[in-house]
Homo-oligomer: A and B are copies of this chain.
Amino acid sequence: MRDLNESSVTDAVIEQMAATTDARLREVMASLVRHLHDFARDVHLTPQEWLQAIGFLTQVGKACTPARQEFILLSDVLGLSALVNLMHDKTAVEQGTESSLLGPFYRQDAPSLALGDTIAGKAAAGELLVFGRVTDRKGKPLPQASVQVWQTDEEGVYDLQKGQGNTMDMRGNFRCDAAGRFHFRTVKPLGYLIPMDGPVGRLVHSQDRHGFRPAHIHFLVSAEGYRELVTALYLADDAHIDSDTVFGVSKALITSPREADPEAPVKGIPSIRYDFRLGIAAAEAAGRVGADPSQIVSAH
């Protein structure tokens, strides 16, 4: 019978987990325990603070619904989602366009639309055309590639944040043409506060962070035989382009609408052109840093 002290307790825990048959689970949990205990020792976590953390995590769990994923939001504001995403990018055999966060507002059941359709349920000022091509790493077009898009409306709100989250708006799934081209209409998205009415918002507020994400349009682009691309295009003129609360922006994903792009397939409205290049995935390296919130709540 060993008496535990504040340093020996860590080894005792790892020892008790050492019989785990699943080698990966054993490795992950041992590392987790070591880092978690190191953290608690480094800051000398007090019982009150520990209890505050328990209460906080409980509230984060309670805030999760089929329309809201507060734990993903927590991971986002701690930069963990961005980190996992960045590490995942490096597992590609051949990397395409830079990725960005899937975020907590993706939905699996968005409507299929025809090229040229608008994703906006109602007309609004600031109409925008988005067009481009999906190609491989070297620029070869990928016919019939799938392009899923979602974004906020012109007021910075996602459909999932309205009412009970049953509305469907500002999202659509497109199929590229034989030359890998896509185009759709939308309205200019607005930068927005992450949901500030829950425990994660309160944390961000207590950290004196502004809580904004710069305006962006989400993309999930895929084609058979290529690595799925989860990314987003950010608008250069947003005041928070350099201080995204969830660390999703990278230079290569910043765009500015052009007033009259001669190549735009629809004239008379400002347009953004972006070509997405799909890399090639290692056999085992599928996976997204995110999911439809309704799938997470019901999965267990």
On A, residues with C-beta under 8 Å from B are 1, 3-6, 9-10, 12-13, 16-17, 19-22, 25-29, 31-33, 35-51, 54-62, 64, 69, 71-72, 75, 78-88, 90-91, 199, 206-209, 241-243, 245, 247, 249-252, 254, 285-291, 296-297, 299-300
Q: CA–CA, A40 to B13, complex, Å?
A: 19
Asked whether A78 lies within 8 Å of B13 as measured between CB atoms, the reply is yes
Asked whether B87 lies within 8 Å of A72 as measured between CB atoms, the reply is no
The residue that A87 contacts in the complex, of B44, B56, B241, B285, with Cβ under 8 A, is B44
Asked whether B206 lies within 8 Å of A90 as measured between CB atoms, the reply is no
Taking the closest CB of chain B, its distance from the CB of A80, in whole angstroms, is 6
Asked whether B10 lies within 8 Å of A28 as measured between CB atoms, the reply is no
The residue that A47 contacts in the complex, of B69, B84, B254, with Cβ under 8 A, is B84
A-B residue pairs, 5 tightest by C-beta: A61-B61, A47-B287, A13-B79, A35-B39, A6-B86
Asked whether A57 lies within 8 Å of B71 as measured between CB atoms, the reply is yes
**Nearest CB in chain B to that of A98: its residue:** B3
Taking the closest CB of chain B, its distance from the CB of A215, in whole angstroms, is 15
Question: Which residues of chain B come closer than 8 Å to A250, judged between CB atoms?
Answer: 3-4
22 contacts between A and B (CB under 8 A): A3-B252, A6-B86, A9-B247, A10-B83, A16-B243, A20-B206, A28-B43, A33-B78, A35-B39, A37-B83, A40-B83, A46-B88, A46-B285, A46-B287, A48-B287, A50-B84, A51-B288, A54-B291, A54-B296, A58-B297, A60-B61, A62-B64
Asked whether B37 lies within 8 Å of A79 as measured between CB atoms, the reply is yes
Asked whether B58 lies within 8 Å of A242 as measured between CB atoms, the reply is no
Asked whether A43 lies within 8 Å of B61 as measured between CB atoms, the reply is no
Q: CA–CA, A57 to B58, complex, Å?
A: 9
Question: Which residues of chain B come closer than 8 Å to A35, judged between CB atoms?
Answer: 35-36, 38-39, 42
Asked whether B247 lies within 8 Å of A32 as measured between CB atoms, the reply is no
Question: Which residues of chain B come closer than 8 Å to A290, judged between CB atoms?
Answer: 51
Q: CA–CA, A13 to B288, complex, Å?
A: 21
Knowing A5-B86, A208-B19, the reply to whether A47 touches B288 (Cβ < 8 A) is: yes
Taking the closest CB of chain B, its distance from the CB of A299, in whole angstroms, is 5
Asked whether A4 lies within 8 Å of B299 as measured between CB atoms, the reply is no
Q: CA–CA, A249 to B3, complex, Å?
A: 8
**Nearest CB in chain B to that of A40: its residue:** B83
Asked whether B31 lies within 8 Å of A42 as measured between CB atoms, the reply is yes
Q: CA–CA, A241 to B16, complex, Å?
A: 13
The residue that A300 contacts in the complex, of B40, B47, B199, B251, with Cβ under 8 A, is B199
Q: CA–CA, A20 to B207, complex, Å?
A: 4
**Nearest CB in chain B to that of A21: its residue:** B208
Question: Which residues of chain B come closer than 8 Å to A247, judged between CB atoms?
Answer: 4, 9, 12-13, 16
**Nearest CB in chain B to that of A51: its residue:** B291
**Nearest CB in chain B to that of A61: its residue:** B61
